[in-house]
Amino acid sequence: MARGIEAAQGAYGAGDFEECVRLCRTLVNSNPRDAQALRWLGMALWNLGKRKESVEFMQKAARSDPQNPQIQSLLAVSYNALGNDEKAERHFERAYVWPRRARPIWSLCRRPWWETAIRCWP
């Protein structure tokens, strides 16, 4: 199975998003809870302009691996790009779990720092 995800990552890295989608769909068909295949599928779909479908697969990835900061970050960036600041902020906070005592500091710097961080995210 690892070779499958590595092939999908290679296709993504080469800019062959259609091939990445094909490979990831095969992986997801054999294991619908494969968080990495769901994540790469969502990223490839995003690059193909299929935003809604992309977010649906990234949400499935987050349900399969809710503690994965990469998935939470991707959802934050995606929701930000789609103009849903509330969901973007929620996923950004999940990606970067702040200690309880730091939460007041976080609330002071939500804007514009948070918007800048999302725009600059690789």
Backbone φ, ψ for residue 31 (5° rounding) = -150, 90
In a domain, residue 117? The reply is yes
Chain centroid to CA 88: 11
Q: What is the pLDDT of residues 2-56, one digit of tens each?
A: 479 999 999 999 999 999 999 999 999 999 999 999 999 999 999 999 999 999 9
Report the distance separating Cα 118 and Cα 73, nearest Å: 9
* CB contact at 8 A, 40 and 8: yes
In a domain, residue 59? The reply is no
- pLDDT at residue 97, as a whole number: 67
Percent of the chain with pLDDT over 90: 50
Report the distance separating Cα 66 and Cα 60, nearest Å: 9
In a domain, residue 3? The reply is yes
Quick one: 46 and 94 in the same domain?
Answer: no
- pLDDT at residue 84, as a whole number: 86
Report the distance separating Cα 44 and Cα 18, nearest Å: 7
In a domain, residue 61? The reply is no
Check whether 1 has a pLDDT greater than 50. no
Quick one: 112 and 73 in the same domain?
Answer: yes
Identity of residue 105: I
Cis amide bond preceding 122, omega within 30: no
CB proximity list for 105: less than 8 A, separation 6 or greater: none
Average pLDDT, rounded, for the chain: 82
Report the distance separating Cα 42 and Cα 49, nearest Å: 11
Q: What is the pLDDT of residues 60-119, one digit of tens each?
A: 999 999 888 889 888 988 888 888 888 888 888 887 765 444 444 444 444 444 454 544
Quick one: 74 and 38 in the same domain?
Answer: no
